[in-house]
Structure 1
């Protein structure tokens, strides 16, 4: 009888790269870039701390492939004109201790930040608080080259892999979702057609970075929106992705569509998407990670030992307890103490966690005492200040 897989066991990806254990720091938008798309010392320090804690892989959230369509003005950009020395400093510090560091290649599409963008998605839409223009066929044709160029730059500056963001309501997630994708051409209609641009991007990225460089993807199990991506279509998408050269599929869910409830703001006790991820693993030869709702060591250990998934993704747990991986990897069941907020304003919890990330990057989390509303106001003030810098840097009018 073989011993069960443990959190500390390494895994070799299809491309040949090895992730040293089963704990991943999942992508979060850290808002620590300089407002012009460049990396900063604070960002490098944040990921250096997580690498020192023993994590196998950290993913930097919302790294933009096109500065015209950013999620926020605190994002990194991987395109021409960036500070390559700052990026190399970030990757060198974030890859210590044998850790992998990947950028999450993203295009916000219809959810691009309005003060610095004119949002475009697969289709022109006007739904309640959400409006966006539709992309032309030529603009869609340009996407694979855009992602490939960013991936090649990521490899050149020392990132050890890339993750393509196709979740949480941003552009590639919008292509997958019938709520956002009303196209009548080869990129709309059936789930196969809605997946087409993602398959084309993966192929182009693989051609650019070579066979031995890891390529992952983040995909929703469901949009959690009426008329959005269903679990049935998400599983069909997994089958399609299994035929590509991907090295890792990370399962998540939910959307930042205006008014939608964030999965990460849920008060439920257990992991959100573990059951779906276990089903996906039975359909795919590509390693599977699941993210969302892991709050205890026992929860993480259970899904790994059972073989239901290959990796556990942690996000806010690693903000509450930055050195959590160090404990869990030796079997110490440290449990992060999550705050409870009564009637939080929309975006308030995300803002609070983002400001706590800033404190961790400053090595000052022990003295972090911001309440929810002051954190939200500070977060918005920082974004407002960065918007002017972003528009000047990227000549956005």
Structure 2
């Protein structure tokens, strides 16, 4: 029997802050929707991140952890603030760090895309368009954002999480400030790109001051919003050039803007943003993680071996098979068997993968493609129940 040859994905990665990731595969942030509806981790969520750590990922990132309950993406989000019940977060941090893995919190604020049943959406500018309405953030609200992000990061550090990732992608608040489609302000936070990136730079500076030099800080940044008139690659490169104090740039793209095509649902056989990563490589020495479209061992190994990416972000692949990192790092080229859906409704594929995450967390048999309708029903019913829990717990009247 021929021994497996370790792949390029097995190489450790040293971050600028001094932390070393054991290999080149990360479980990128997804909205696992496993919070308890009151902002706290559940036993299922703790098991989930322990399972992904056992599967060999060097890094897992928990999607959309909120610093306040006011602008959440979904009622399954976690909320880490001084009044939170810290014991569950501590258990989550410990479980996600098993098998020498790193577990980071993605610091989120949905802004204009906040879930209306549990919030009053606000963005850089007031909008009233089909599918999306929001008020405008006031100047004091904007100026308080860096302190809010910094507070959540400091709490994460104290609870034992391995790092944080600042979310400035996919149409959420910091991406909204960057995008001319969302940001119509004519003050210090709108107009020129220098002004539109101001709050992001201020957030990064505040977070770094709060956690010190040796705690990892990542940034999830859109290469492009994939919307006409939105944030585009040349501007993203200018943002990258201006970054300081970041340990890993997680390159992604697209937006959850109503009706916009999702990068994760688009048809294609290869990674989405490697061409942009090649351009970014000439602008920065910060390690680059590329997320989106990696479906095979060859794609991931080639991207690292060629120097196009320092880290490979996998999401749906690890929902199909949580053991992909152990396989690919060892040189086992077995690829996940992705389901194929026939004409799925909008949001249907996301619902299917979210409910499959729940099956992993609970040790249940995996879903199959024909479970799509049932998965959507379960997903919607769970969110509806948690909206009531959220509003009651946080004292929000809806």
Q: 2 CA distance for matches of 1:66 and 1:236?
A: 30
SS of corresponding position for 2:231: coil
Q: 2 CA distance for matches of 1:195 and 1:273?
A: 21
SS of corresponding position for 1:55: coil
Q: Would you say the 8 A contact 1:5–1:304 is kept in 2? A: no
The Cα offsets for residues 144-185 of structure 1, whole Å up to 9 and x where unpaired, read as 000000001111111110000000000001001000001111
RMSD: 1.3
Q: 2:143 aligns with which of 134, 141, 144?
A: 141
The 3 A distance-change label for structure 1 pair 378 and 279 is same
- 1:34 maps to 36
Q: 2 CA distance for matches of 1:271 and 1:127?
A: 32
Matched, 1:347 2:347: yes
Q: 2 CA distance for matches of 1:375 and 1:5?
A: 36
Q: 1 CA distance for matches of 2:197 and 2:232?
A: 14
Q: 1 CA distance for matches of 2:310 and 2:345?
A: 35
Q: 2 CA distance for matches of 1:44 and 1:100?
A: 14
- 1:180 maps to 182
User: Once the 2 structures are TM-superposed, how far is the Cα of residue 279 of structure 1 from its aligned partner?
Assistant: 1.1
The 3 A distance-change label for structure 1 pair 267 and 79 is same
Q: Would you say the 8 A contact 1:222–1:234 is kept in 2? A: yes
Q: Aligned runs of 1:59-208 on 2, under 5 Å? A: 59-208=61-210
Matched, 1:219 2:208: no
Q: Aligned runs of 1:317-332 on 2, under 5 Å? A: 317-332=317-332
The Cα offsets for residues 114-162 of structure 1, whole Å up to 9 and x where unpaired, read as 1011100000011221111110110000000000000011111111100
The Cα offsets for residues 360-387 of structure 1, whole Å up to 9 and x where unpaired, read as 0011134667621211111010000000
Q: 2 CA distance for matches of 1:130 and 1:330?
A: 46
Q: 2 CA distance for matches of 1:73 and 1:61?
A: 13
Matched, 1:274 2:274: yes
Q: 2 CA distance for matches of 1:124 and 1:213?
A: 36
The 3 A distance-change label for structure 1 pair 96 and 374 is same
Q: Would you say the 8 A contact 1:356–1:368 is kept in 2? A: no
SS of corresponding position for 2:128: strand
Normalized against structure 2, the TM-score is what? 0.97
The 3 A distance-change label for structure 1 pair 138 and 110 is same
Q: Would you say the 8 A contact 2:7–2:331 is kept in 1? A: no
SS of corresponding position for 1:283: coil
SS of corresponding position for 1:382: helix
Greater mean deviation of Cα atoms: 368-377 or 162-171: 368-377
The 3 A distance-change label for structure 1 pair 383 and 366 is closer
User: Once the 2 structures are TM-superposed, how far is the Cα of residue 28 of structure 1 from its aligned partner?
Assistant: 0.2
User: Once the 2 structures are TM-superposed, how far is the Cα of residue 273 of structure 1 from its aligned partner?
Assistant: 0.7
- 1:310 maps to 310
Q: 2 CA distance for matches of 1:374 and 1:55?
A: 30
User: Once the 2 structures are TM-superposed, how far is the Cα of residue 77 of structure 1 from its aligned partner?
Assistant: 0.8
The 3 A distance-change label for structure 1 pair 367 and 252 is closer
Q: Would you say the 8 A contact 2:224–2:230 is kept in 1? A: yes
Normalized against structure 1, the TM-score is what? 0.97
Gaps of 5+ in 2: 1-5
Q: 2 CA distance for matches of 1:84 and 1:90?
A: 10
Q: 1 CA distance for matches of 2:188 and 2:19?
A: 34
Q: Would you say the 8 A contact 2:65–2:105 is kept in 1? A: yes
Gaps of 5+ in 1: none
- 2:285 maps to 285
Q: 2 CA distance for matches of 1:216 and 1:367?
A: 32
Greater mean deviation of Cα atoms: 335-344 or 365-374: 365-374
The Cα offsets for residues 24-53 of structure 1, whole Å up to 9 and x where unpaired, read as 100000000100000111111111011111
- 1:16 maps to 18
Q: 2 CA distance for matches of 1:5 and 1:146?
A: 41
